[in-house]
Amino acid sequence: MTAQQRIAFQGMHGAYSDQAARRAFPGATTVPYRTFEGAFSALEDGDVELAVIPIDNTLAGRVADVHHILPESGVHIIGETFLRINHALVAVPGTRIEEIKEIRSHVHALGQCRKLRKELGVNTVVGSDTAGCAKEVADLGDKSIAAIAPALAAEIYGLDILRTEVEDAAHNTTRFIILARDPLNIANDGTPVVTSFVFRVRNVAAALYKALGGFATNGINMTKLESYMVEGHFTATQFFAEVEAHPEQLGLRHALEELQFFSHEVRILGVYPAHTFRRENDLPAE
């Protein structure tokens, strides 16, 4: 990874996605895009080399937009990174907490800081993203308006940090996937890996049960299984799954063959190293 490489993320500079990209690739240039579609398109078109995109949060669950965009994008997952979410209360320089009458932030951030909101008893305004709300506060220059945002956003937009770690839950963590145009060729050498794939089962009785049976009989640990409708049909369901195994391992090879028999489509989105965060925090390869 060189400093000249560019990494796309959704949001504004100072967002948690920006922070995750900077931590994963120190010295690289992070490039903001307003939407997930914009970040994916930039990667597909060659405007950037990589993209760092959130896919799950321990409190908010899956990032639904990403689960819909990723399978159709043509890009590949080559890695993952985890970021502990530390919310900060930020305001224009010189602000005292007792002066605050309004707090702005993303809907999830506001929901994750209920204790602070109750303590201060102020109005709340939902914004598009945490970093964007921090920039709004900086642009307004009004001491009565604060934001819940990353500390990085306060640094970028010249705001004071009045309090740190204002979130209610200490386990608030987001998992990000690292995307590239080309797949990662990772050896089947015993190193812990994650295989991500999508599939659509045939519309027959017990198809899902039969399709997944091969993972159990072959001793493959499936750590994620998400379903969502596609093409506007209630009977057309696509599944996003992840397992702790390499496709070249005999057990997973047999499981995928059985899955293919009961499915219209099986497509691998990425095979990549499991992040050390999983072992350090005793987490499954989600």
On whether residue 184 sits in a domain, the answer given is no
Band of residue 286 on the pLDDT scale cut at 50, 70, 90: very low
On whether residue 73 sits in a domain, the answer given is yes
Element housing 67 (H / E): helix 64-73
pLDDT of the residue at 284: 46
Q: Name the residue type at position 11.
A: G
Instruction: Give the tens place of pLDDT for each residue, 226-282.
Output: 988 776 666 668 899 999 999 999 999 999 999 999 998 999 999 999 998 887 775
| CATH code of the domain covering residue 104 | 3.40.190.10
Q: Which of 89-93, 109-113, 269-273 has the least mean pLDDT?
A: 109-113
Whether residues 174 and 44 share a domain: the answer is yes
On whether residue 285 sits in a domain, the answer given is no
Q: Are 169 and 187 in contact (CB under 8 A)?
A: no
Whether residues 143 and 90 share a domain: the answer is yes
- pTM of this prediction? 0.90
Q: Residue 250 contacts by C-beta under 8 Å, 6 or more apart in sequence?
A: 218
Last residue of a domain, one of 178, 205, 227: 178
Last residue of a domain, one of 126, 153, 178: 178
Mean pLDDT over all residues of the chain? 92
Beta carbons within 10 angstroms of residue 116's beta carbon: 19
Query: Count of domains in the chain?
Result: 3
pLDDT of the residue at 235: 63
Q: Name the residue type at position 208.
A: L
pLDDT higher at 218 or 170:
218
Question: What is the rounded distance in angstroms from the CA atom of residue 38 to the CA atom of residue 32?
Answer: 9
Given the residues 9, 25, 82, 176, the one annotated as active site: 176
Catalytic (active site) residue 239? no
pLDDT of the residue at 236: 63
Of all residues in the chain, the percent with pLDDT exceeding 70 is 95
Whether residues 157 and 264 share a domain: the answer is no
Query: Of 174, 169, 194, which Cα lies nearest the Cα of 285?
Result: 194
Question: What is the rounded distance in angstroms from the CA atom of residue 30 to the CA atom of residue 32?
Answer: 7
Given the residues 30, 95, 130, 174, the one annotated as active site: 174
On whether residue 286 sits in a domain, the answer given is no
Catalytic (active site) residue 176? yes
Domain hosting 257: range is: 191-279
On whether residue 63 sits in a domain, the answer given is yes
Instruction: Give the tens place of pLDDT for each residue, 68-89.
Output: 899 989 999 999 999 999 999 9
pLDDT of the residue at 1: 47
Question: What is the rounded distance in angstroms from the CA atom of residue 159 to the CA atom of residue 94?
Answer: 9
